[in-house]
Structure 1
């Protein structure tokens, strides 16, 4: 199950976010009705005024050991399904994809 794609030097990541969760975590995969694959993530922040999106970016930055400023929300501002761009992620493709694949395999 692939939840990422390389775009030049960047990495595009598909995430299904659950805001207002009891804990913050990344792990597990989800497939939508069209067969697209998404990485599951949960954050404590509520989905108002971009708080949940900011919490997701902070969580990803911490877990990937990546700069928060280099993770951008491409789409899904007010939707659970989000696409994020990890700037420069293509240069660390092997390390990042190993982490992403481990997260997808979690239940």
Structure 2
């Protein structure tokens, strides 16, 4: 298993962070599965939710999952792009430095996995 740099899958900005996520709806459980490398070499946070991809339910479940994992308010997390795609960008509003630290700790706890 190759180690993936933590900043490959998220980017800090002036008003928070953007996280690249590959979401599996109807995945049997709500969980963050690790950092994975895609075929093109980019890395993403792999996530799964029980919700079906209907009427935004899977996106809402993803936002709740990310908020809980980072310990931030649900209102600060939003799917910024990829609303109808498996590959999404999730924006978390807040202090980028604190959020980057939380993401680094999260990545260490969930690890990486082969795709």
TM-score, L = length of structure 2 = 0.82
CA contact (8 A) 1:73 1:84 kept: yes
Who is 1:105 aligned against? 112
How many angstroms does 1:32 deviate by?
A: 2.4
Specify every segment of 5 or more residues in structure 2 that has no aligned partner in the other structure, as ranges: none
1:38-77 to 2 correspondences below 5 Å: 38-77=44-83
TM-score, L = length of structure 1 = 0.88
Give the Cα separation in 2 of the matches to 1:48 and 1:104.
30
Give the Cα separation in 2 of the matches to 1:85 and 1:45.
20
Secondary structure of 1:12 counterpart: strand
User: Relative to structure 1, is the Cα distance of residues 55 and 34 closer, same or farther in structure 2, using a 3 angstrom cutoff?
Assistant: same
Matched, 1:78 2:76: no
Specify every segment of 5 or more residues in structure 1 that has no aligned partner in the other structure, as ranges: none
Q: CA RMSD in A?
A: 1.7
Question: Which stretch shifts more, 27-36 or 61-70?
Answer: 27-36
Question: Which stretch shifts more, 81-90 or 48-57?
Answer: 81-90
CA contact (8 A) 2:10 2:20 kept: yes
